[in-house]
Amino acid sequence: MPLSAVDPARYGELLSEKSARVIAMLAPYSPPAPSVYPSVPTGFRMRAEFRMWHEGDALDFVMFRREDRTTPVPIDQFPIGCERIQQLMPELKQSLRGNPALRRKLFQVEFLSTLAGDTLVTLIYHRKLDEEWQTAAAALAMKLQVSIVGRSRKQKLVIGETYVREILTVQDRDYRYNQYEQAFTQPNALVNTAMLTWACERSAELSGDLLELYCGNGNFTLPLSRHFDNVIATELSKTSVRAARENLAANEIANVEIIRLSAEEVTQAINGEREFRRLGELPRPLSQYKLRTLFVDPPRAGLDTQGVAMAARFPAILYISCNPQTLAQNLAVLCQSHRIEHFALFDQFPYTDHMECGVLLLHKTLPE
């Protein structure tokens, strides 16, 4: 997104236009009128990354326009960044500019922050990092009160932690999360909280056990667990599985099992096509769970053909989508067996064409 598109004075108008486009796109599937959850107009991004541009003594955070990947655009103001990132950017740049040990062959900088006030900075280099770098980075981390991760080819050095601590309040309960560096987290924490609350409100209408695909670090898993007897949550990324298990333990949640399987493997297991040793970690066989609800928050490609067919077997489907186009493709199949009971729009990415959607689908055999 070009920062020139950021126009807080027109935010409401832009959101209305974007919402209308998504509503029109999904109209063939007869959803009810959506609940629309706006973002704050500025200061909403909890993560950001910039290339570093060296020009003589000057050092700048830069980005590149989509139509021109060769001409750097210096970033002096970053109004969409959260307050902590905006505060850190000039302080960090000044510290890097005057320190050869930290500046030399610095290629990229990444910020990861939280509503809880924890921040991590990743510095990526085109050179091997040495003891001099570690000493300088430790002094910088203390000065800025952040964790620092230094990365170069086949090298990772950590000053502090490799994660930030987040606290999100959902339905009057605080949930604590470890969010790891370079692992996926929702970029707009306030809108993410709205998504979690909406999903929990919809889940209060459901019963039995929950199967969750693409659980990540347990972002949805933790608050959803209050509304189901048991939860089986699956994720392929080792880092995310570790984070999810840590987060469950930190929140003293005991009715969730995290299994490291891909969505495709879960589909094969549900269909009885393959047996997976990791399912042996469950307290009882998969067939003995009352899996009445499926929760999915898939990547932009949506559910594949086999995943949609498997989803259609569930009485209830809670679907969070980051891509209305692929959601529409999946709904073309799912709405043959299900109806859309609830519909929501979440503006995770203001001033862009991207819109996060939520739908609760109930099987047509269930009463209205």
As annotated, the active-site residues are: 322, 356
C-alpha span between 345 and 247 (Å, rounded): 27
Angle at 12 between CA 358 and CA 83, to 5 degrees: 85
Can you read off the two tokens belonging to residue 180? Answer: 């790891």
In this structure, the number of other CB atoms found within 10 A of the CB of residue 353 comes to 10
Among 163, 157, 118, 155, smallest CA distance to 138 is for 157
DSSP string, 122-154: EEEESS---HHHHHHHHHHHHHHT-EEEEEETT
- Residue 342 CA neighbour count, 13 Å, CB half: 20
Pairing of strands 163-170, 119-125: unpaired
Catalogue the E-assigned strands of the chain.
35-37, 47-55, 58-65, 68-74, 106-113, 119-125, 147-152, 155-159, 163-170, 173-180, 209-213, 231-234, 256-259, 291-296, 316-321, 338-346, 356-363
Quick one: tokens of 186? 């929702």
CA distance 286 to 138: 48
Could you give the angle at the alpha carbon of 22 between the alpha carbons of 37 and 350, nearest 5°? 50
Distance CA 340, CA 18 (A): 21
